[in-house]
Amino acid sequence: MTQSTPVRRAPSYRAPLPDALHSALRLASAGVPVLPLRKGKVPFGNCPACAGSACGDRPHMKAAGPCRCPQACHGWAAATTDPNVITSAAWAPMWRTAAAVAYHPAGARLTVVDLDDADAVAWARATLTVTRIVPTTRGEHWIYRGTMRSANSVRPGVDIKSAMAYTRWLGPGTGAMTDLPSAVRALVDKEETTPAGRGVVSSPPERAVWDHTVATGCRHTERYVRTGLERGLAKVRARTESGAGSQAFGVAQFLGAQHAECPGPCALDTLGQQVVAAAVSVGVPEPYAQRAVANGLTAALGRAA
Ligand SMILES: [Zn+2]
Ligand SMILES: [Zn+2]
Ligand SMILES: [Zn+2]
């Protein structure tokens, strides 16, 4: 009744929030890292200090640097679940003109298969496991549980948005979310193996799925291995603020130790790559994550010997 009670303390900001900010806060509270998009549905440009990556980029970007800019600079890398940042003075002007909200899928342990048009949608319906679906202007977002490397145009009209990427928030969609199928991972694997004049050293073959076709000498059931893996990945992904690298080491060591009694091979590299992906999804630079996981597996094998 008495909307205008005089008890007004700091957080009684009841003026209507801009829609985008409102959605952003709701998503953030559900653990989805968000950022504002400007007109044209792209991130706000970098501030003068960050222009051309003069700041050195943010710590969880590919070229990891010391940037701690309070503005929403560096596209997907600005995405956060921290309501203090989202409602900060630095972000306020952006929300006032924001055209949309974006989120960082891998930061929410998700992968979005972005189907641009009717043909792409038809292909997905014929090929992929059904999951949570969000309609877009001309196509659909198919949202899966799990993270992977992002890649554009893996097929005509199909982009994969997960690690180091943002995508538009267009509502919760409908349908039960399912695990990222290997058919989706394979789209990027295929892209990786096509010779494109790229250096060979940088990336390992991406995130294969563990099963007995690769782990021919493992005495465990797939269920046992997957459960251990998922538990470990959850621990790494929970370290959104700090410590994900050392957690990745610990998880790799734990997973390695599970196979101490197996005759082998147990395809521990395959498990390790999932741990790397989880660490990268919460901002650990990939080279560091690779090292932490390799060291963890080595430590486990050392103990087994
Ligand atoms: Zn900046
Ligand atoms: Zn910067
Ligand atoms: Zn084993």
Is residue 304 one of the residues assigned to a domain? yes
For the chain, what is the domain count?
Answer: 3
CB 246, CB 284: distance < 8 Å = no
288 and 209 both lie in a single domain: yes
* Mean pLDDT, residues 174-183 taken together: 94
Lowest mean pLDDT among 30-34, 194-198, 241-245: 194-198
Confidence at residue 8, expressed as pLDDT on a 0 to 100 scale: 47
**Residues 230 and 137 both lie in one domain:** no
77 and 110 in a single domain? The answer is: no
Q: How far is the centre of ligand 3, averaged over its atoms, from the C-alpha of 256 (Å)?
A: 8
Count of C-beta atoms within a 10 Å radius of residue 239: 18
Clarify whether residues 113 and 99 are in a common domain.
no
> 116 and 74 in one domain?
no
pLDDT at 17: 64
DSSP SS3 for 296: helix
From the CA of 71, which ligand is nearest? Answer: 1
Q: Supply the pLDDT for residue 236.
A: 92
Assess if residue 9 is contained within a domain. no
pLDDT band (50, 70, 90) for residue 208: low
Which range of residues forms the domain containing residue 88? 19-47+69-103
Task: Specify whether 226 is located in the same domain as 280.
Answer: yes
Amino acid 32: pLDDT: 95
pLDDT one-digit tens code per residue, 48-69: 898 888 888 898 888 788 899 9
Q: What is the pLDDT of residue 205?
A: 43
Q: From the CA of 103, how far away is ligand 2's center (Å)?
A: 19
How far apart are the CA of 73 and the centre of ligand 2, in A?
Answer: 6
Do both 222 and 283 map to the same domain? yes
End position of a domain, from candidates 130, 151, 180: 180
Asked if residue 3 belongs to a domain, the reply is no
Q: Kind and range of the H or E element at 113?
A: strand 110-115
Whole-structure pTM value? 0.59
Tens of pLDDT along 130-166? 999 999 999 999 999 999 999 888 889 999 999 999 9
In a domain, 4, yes or no: no
In terms of domains, do 143 and 128 share one? yes
Q: Is 72 helix (H, G, I), strand (E, B) or coil?
A: coil
CA 267–ligand 3 middle distance (angstroms):
8
Residue 227: inside a domain, yes or no?
Answer: yes
Q: Where are the beta strands (DSSP E) in 147-226?
A: 151-155, 158-161, 167-168
Confidence of residue 241 (pLDDT cuts 50, 70, 90): confident
Same domain, 299 and 214: yes
Distance 58 CA to ligand 1 centre (A): 9
Residues 207 and 304 placed together within one structural domain of the fold: yes
Residue 294 within any structural domain of the chain? yes
How high does pLDDT run on average in the chain?
Answer: 85
**Per-residue model confidence as pLDDT tens digits over 78-96:** 999 999 999 999 999 999 9
Is 80 exceeded by the pLDDT of residue 37? Answer: yes
Distance 53 CA to ligand 2 centre (A): 6
Pairwise CA distance, residues 257 & 268, whole Å = 10
Same domain as 280, residue 204: yes
d(CA 205, ligand 3 centre) in Å: 21
Q: Is residue 270 part of a domain?
A: yes
What distance in angstroms lies between residue 78's CA and the mean position of ligand 2's atoms? 9
262 C-alpha to center of ligand 2: Å? Answer: 47
Instruction: Judge whether 75 lies within some domain.
Output: yes
pLDDT band at 210 (very low <50, low <70, confident <90, very high): confident
Q: Is the dihedral of CA 199, 192, 233, 262 positive or negative?
A: negative
Query: How far separated are the first and last CA of the chain, in Å rounded?
Result: 73
Q: Are strands 42-43 and 100-103 parallel, antiparallel or unpaired?
A: unpaired
Q: Is the pLDDT of residue 177 over 50?
A: yes
In a shared domain, residues 127 and 81:
no
Percent of the chain whose pLDDT exceeds 90: 52
How far does the centroid of ligand 3 lie from the alpha carbon of residue 265, in Å?
Answer: 7
